Amino acid sequence: MSYIDLVDDTICALITTPGLSGISVVRVSGKNALSISRKICPFLKSDVESHRVYLGRFKTAQGEIIDEGLVTYFAEGQSFTADETLEFSLHGGKACAEKLLQELLSLGCRAAERGEFSFRAFYNGKIDLVQAEAIHSLIKSRNDMARSQAVGQLTGVLSQQMDKIEQGLIHVLAQLEASIDFSTEDIEPYSLDKMKQSISEIHLQVEQMSSGFKKGRILTEGLKVVIAGAPNAGKSSLYNALLGQEKAIVSAVPGTTRDTLESTYSETGMPLSLIDTAGLRDSDEEVEKIGIERALQRLEEADFILFVLDAANEDSWDFQPVLHKLEKTVFILSKLDQNPGTEEIYTRKIAKVLNSQPLHRIFLTSSKTLVGIQGVKGFIDTKSLVDIHHDEALITQHRQHSHLQKCSNFLQRSLDLFDKQASYDLLAIEIQSALAEIFAMLGKEFDEQVMDHVFKQFCIGK
């Protein structure tokens, strides 16, 4: 069942972090919010005012005192969700809040689902889709920069930039339509050249925004660092050494790691995912094969790859898996304790196999003696720092990125059409398609599935 089937329910949830905190806040929202709350707050006068705080004792139906605290009333249309809302501030700790929630449920409230408050704000027209997603990012954000990005989106910086793209496309489309429908009249719409120029400019804006996704994603989801290499190259040892814990099982048997392992940590305040993968080799063994497929998948998604090479076993070097990903690959020479050498020697050896210039970044390490591990760590940390201007609004959602990319493709296709005797009717459909992507991104189009997908990501209570 989708949220929109349930907007007549009155919902409630704890909206502060559960656990030990100074105060807890419980929100009740929906058409019966006030009448239900009155049963708990007998002290509320008949003429409660919106945005006013009332002090009193919260009681159960049996007259038992739950807590003494504050309750704030938000009238319909004036709350976050736009539905009638009350927020209870109670003493911290689990007991009071749970008691209150139980009482609310017994009075006919329903526990809010993930993201349901935000859904209602969107549904009631208080926020647009991009802002709704920003709230989601804000809740998830693990660092200051991500938070400021989310705030930027929430205040609509991103929406404003999208608006500009939307308006630009509508303008071009209007010019195009005018030169179709009014070609026999005395008017002068854009020339084809001018139209092409306008589309190029919009295309560039879309591309810029789309490319910002990489930064935006690193901010909210963290940098994805994937450790890969041949079996028994020492990937899991490196993984453990970088994490400073024995997370992965290490053995001398090739193929010990069968599935991918993932750990998130933060040294710099920026989130980072470190991923260990199964050794890459031809295998007939069913389970190992699945592990290898997953490893290859991880390589595609990686922001960068630590490709581990056994310094003691040059015969095992196989660069095939990273051949087309060299720009995001760093080579880690492992087991240096067994086969010492200099950085220069190994750089040249790798270049020789790759048949290229010796320009690749390499680190000489030993997970046993921890030589070189700090260097790798420092390198990852610098990579995880993203340089962002304070007025830059980055897209942080895959959904947004996918629409922008499609929009960009349609615009590219329309530019191609200009090069081969543009037919106006076809040009129009490319631009309409591009515009449809922007509409979809902004949630201006009706699509129940998209809505549900977006709101399922939300955290309860926000």
**Residues near another protein, by CB under 8 A:** 4-5, 7-8, 31, 122-125, 177, 179-186, 420-421, 423-426, 428-429, 433, 436, 443-446, 448, 451
Identify which of residues 186 and 284 has a Cβ nearer to another protein in the complex: 186
Identify which of residues 95 and 180 has a Cβ nearer to another protein in the complex: 180
- Which stretches within 253-354 are classed as H helix? 286-301, 343-354
Identify which of residues 181 and 293 has a Cβ nearer to another protein in the complex: 181
Identify which of residues 176 and 332 has a Cβ nearer to another protein in the complex: 176
Q: Give the number of other CB atoms < 10 A from CB of residue 421.
A: 6
- The arrangement of strands across the sheet holding 65-74 comes to 52-59, 65-74, 85-91, 23-29, 11-14, 110-111
Nearest-approach distance from CB 194 to another protein, in angstroms: 16
E strand or H helix that includes residue 437: helix 424-442
Nearest-approach distance from CB 176 to another protein, in angstroms: 9
Identify which of residues 181 and 301 has a Cβ nearer to another protein in the complex: 181
- The arrangement of strands across the sheet holding 272-276 comes to 261-265, 272-276, 223-229, 304-310, 329-334, 362-364
Nearest-approach distance from CB 151 to another protein, in angstroms: 24
Identify which of residues 188 and 327 has a Cβ nearer to another protein in the complex: 188
Identify which of residues 328 and 456 has a Cβ nearer to another protein in the complex: 456
Nearest-approach distance from CB 48 to another protein, in angstroms: 22
The set of long-range contacts for 150-158, using a CB threshold of 8 Å and a minimum separation of 24, is 150/220, 150/396, 152/391, 152/392, 152/393, 152/394, 153/393, 153/396, 156/128, 156/130, 156/131, 157/391, 157/393, 158/130, 158/134, 158/393, 158/394, 158/395
E strand or H helix that includes residue 339: none
Nearest-approach distance from CB 430 to another protein, in angstroms: 9
Nearest-approach distance from CB 183 to another protein, in angstroms: 6
Identify which of residues 357 and 421 has a Cβ nearer to another protein in the complex: 421
Residues facing residue 261 across a β-bridge: 276
Nearest-approach distance from CB 83 to another protein, in angstroms: 9
Nearest-approach distance from CB 443 to another protein, in angstroms: 7
- Which stretches within 155-243 are classed as H helix? 157-181, 192-221, 235-243
Please give the torsion angle defined by the CA atoms of residues 139, 140, 145 and 147, in that order, rounded to the nearest 10 degrees: -10
Q: Nearest to residue 249, comparing CAs of 276, 228, 285?
A: 276
